[in-house]
C-alpha cells in the first residue's frame, strides 16, 4: 500500500467507479452544452477524421472565447501570444490545427485555467498529493444527514445487504516514471524510423 505513496506518483480521485478516465471535452456530449457541433458541420455526414477536426475546432473556439472574455474584463491569464494576436487580427483555427498536434503546448496553461472555470478541455486534473485525490473521491459521500435519514439509510443497507448498486469511489494512481519512459521509447522509435 505505502509503495504507491512516493514522489513519482500522481493521483486522481473519482466519486464513482463508473466514471471513465476521459477528459470532459472528449466525453459523449462534453462540448455539446457549450457549442453545437451542427454549427460547424452536419454531425451525421462526418467521418471519424472529420469529427476529430470538428472536436479540435470546437475546443479552439472555446479557448479563444475564454481568452477574449478574460481580456475584455482585464483578468490575468497566462501569456499565449497566438491567442493574444488572434484577439487583434481575428483567428484562423484551420491553419493552427492543420500545422500542429492538438493541444499546442503554448495553450496548455490557458486550457488548464479555462478548465477550472468550467470550459471543457482535453486535460485531466492530477495531483501529487494523495489527500487531494481522496478529497475529490469522497467529498460527495460526506453529506450531513439528519437522524431520520441516517436511520433510514442504515435500515435500507441492512435489508439489502450486498444488493445496493451505489457507486464506489476510486483513486487512480500513475507512476510518472512509466509515462516518461514510454514517451522516450516513442520518441526514439520515431527517430529510428
> Measured in Å, how far apart are the chain's first and last C-alpha atoms?
40
Res 148: pLDDT = 84
Res 99: pLDDT = 62
The model's pLDDT over 34-83, given as tens digits with 9 standing for 90+, comes to 555 444 444 444 555 566 777 788 888 889 899 999 989 999 989 888 88
The model's pLDDT over 82-108, given as tens digits with 9 standing for 90+, comes to 888 887 777 666 666 666 678 888 899
pLDDT band at 109 (very low <50, low <70, confident <90, very high): very high
- Angle subtended at Cα 115 by Cα 108 and Cα 99, rounded to the nearest 5 degrees: 35
Q: How far is it, in rounded angstroms, from Cα 110 to Cα 178?
A: 27
CA distance readout (Å), 136 to 34, 159, 162 = 24, 29, 25
The model's pLDDT over 135-172, given as tens digits with 9 standing for 90+, comes to 999 887 777 778 887 788 777 777 776 565 667 888 99
Q: For residue 60, what are the contacts with CB-CB under 8 A and spacing of at least 6?
A: 91, 93, 96, 97, 102
SS3 27: coil
- What is the value of pTM for the model shown? 0.68
Amino acid at each position: 500500500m505505502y509503495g504507491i505513496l512516493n514522489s513519482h506518483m500522481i493521483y486522481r480521485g473519482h466519486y464513482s467507479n463508473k466514471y471513465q478516465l476521459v477528459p470532459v471535452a472528449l466525453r459523449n456530449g462534453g462540448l455539446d452544452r457549450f457549442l453545437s457541433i451542427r454549427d460547424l458541420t452536419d454531425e451525421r455526414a462526418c467521418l471519424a477524421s472529420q469529427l476529430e477536426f470538428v472536436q479540435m475546432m470546437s475546443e479552439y473556439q472555446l479557448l479563444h472565447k475564454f481568452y477574449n472574455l478574460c481580456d475584455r474584463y482585464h483578468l490575468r491569464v497566462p501569456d499565449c501570444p497566438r491567442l493574444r494576436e488572434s484577439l487583434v487580427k481575428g483567428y484562423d483555427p484551420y491553419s493552427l490545427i492543420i500545422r500542429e498536434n492538438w493541444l499546442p503546448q503554448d495553450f496548455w496553461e490557458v486550457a488548464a485555467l479555462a478548465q477550472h472555470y468550467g470550459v471543457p478541455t482535453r486535460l485531466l486534473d492530477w495531483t501529487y498529493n494523495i489527500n487531494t485525490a481522496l478529497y475529490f473521491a469522497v467529498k460527495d459521500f460526506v453529506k450531513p444527514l439528519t437522524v431520520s435519514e441516517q436511520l433510514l439509510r442504515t435500515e435500507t443497507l441492512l435489508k439489502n445487504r450486498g444488493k445496493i448498486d451505489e457507486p464506489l469511489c476510486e483513486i487512480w494512481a500513475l507512476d510518472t516514471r512509466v509515462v516518461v519512459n514510454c514517451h522516450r521509447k516513442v520518441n526514439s522509435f520515431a527517430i529510428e524510423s
